[in-house]
Amino acid sequence: MRYLTARKRVEGKGASHTGTSHHWHMTVSSAVLACMVPTWIYVFGHALGKSREGVMETFSHPFPAILTALVLIVGMRHFAMGAQVMLDDYVHGTARKLSVIFVQSLAAVITATGLFALIKMAL
């Protein structure tokens, strides 16, 4: 007869079978985004309405460029993980696997496109 504690019974369970890993990553990324996004909105708002040269000049500085890259990377990762948790809960079978692949791919494409555009502006 095996004796399992309540914790051992729960570990690795849940809709995604990853325990609290997703929850922890979502909590950390949301805290990071809560600090970065207001600053990024200020930087973006400062560049909004400027001419093309003014926007290029704003994002050629290290702080706005790095902050924008971090918001893009962390934000898209947060989106992908949140969408995956939602899909794990409500979609089943092959449709779940295809949906998760689609969401992860979409987040990667948006991140890559945004970083490419940012690099073009910064250089």
Give the tokens for residue 87.
């899909």
In-domain check, residue 80: yes
Q: Would you say residue 87 lies in a domain?
A: yes
Phi/psi at 93 (nearest 5 deg)?
75, -150
d(C-alpha 68, C-alpha 39), whole Å:
10
Give the CATH number of the domain where residue 79 resides: 1.20.1300
* Other CB atoms within 10 A of residue 58 CB: 19
Mean pLDDT of the chain: 89
Q: How many domains does the chain have?
A: 1
Amino acid at site 101: I
For residue 13, the model assigns a pLDDT of 57
Rounded Cα distance between 56 and 46, Å, is 12
pTM: 0.81
How do residues 17-50 score in pLDDT, each as one tens digit? 665 777 888 999 999 999 999 999 999 999 999 9
Tell me the C-alpha distance between 18 and 93, whole Å.
Answer: 17
Lowest mean pLDDT among 7-11, 51-55, 83-87: 7-11
Residue 15 placed within a domain: no
* In-domain check, residue 83: yes
